[in-house]
Amino acid sequence: MDQNFRPLEGIRVVEMSHMIMGPSCGMFLGMLGAEVVKVEPPEGDKTRNLTGMGRPFFPLFNRGKKSVQLDLKSDDGRRALDALLATADVFVENFRDASLSKMGADLDELRSRHPRLIVASHKGF
């Protein structure tokens, strides 16, 4: 890929995802010039601890991203996520809707609070 081809330069992506589907979306958006901020829980993305054939997943699909750890079980963590999303153009996620709601990222509420935010949901369930 031509390193100068960056059509998404200036676009901010907030990614809350794990395994392959969501992280690969963020990776490709980053390769096209977007700034990608990966949100991880305090213990880190579970994909970081895979072994065997899964061991390369985290470094492969999360290269070039910024990362922030937020405790979305706390009010402070949820407020931090909301503040981060207020600066974003795109939100990438790949969790069950019920899981997202528990983490303070209910999709209907996000669309209401951030109407210009593009939401890319990857559901492999």
pLDDT at position 124: 73
Mean of pLDDT values over 42-58: 94
pLDDT at position 14: 98
pLDDT at position 68: 98
Residue-wise pLDDT for 2-36, tens only, equals 778 999 999 999 999 999 999 999 999 999 999 99
DSSP state of 102: H
Pick the CATH number of 12-121 from 3.40.50.300, 3.40.718.10, 3.30.565.10, 3.40.50.10540: 3.40.50.10540
Question: Does residue 100 have a pLDDT over 80?
Answer: yes
Alpha helices in 1-125 (DSSP H): 21-31, 57-61, 75-86, 97-102, 107-113
Domain boundaries, the chain: 12-121
- What is the rounded CA–CA span in Å between residue 90 and residue 81? 13
pLDDT at position 97: 84
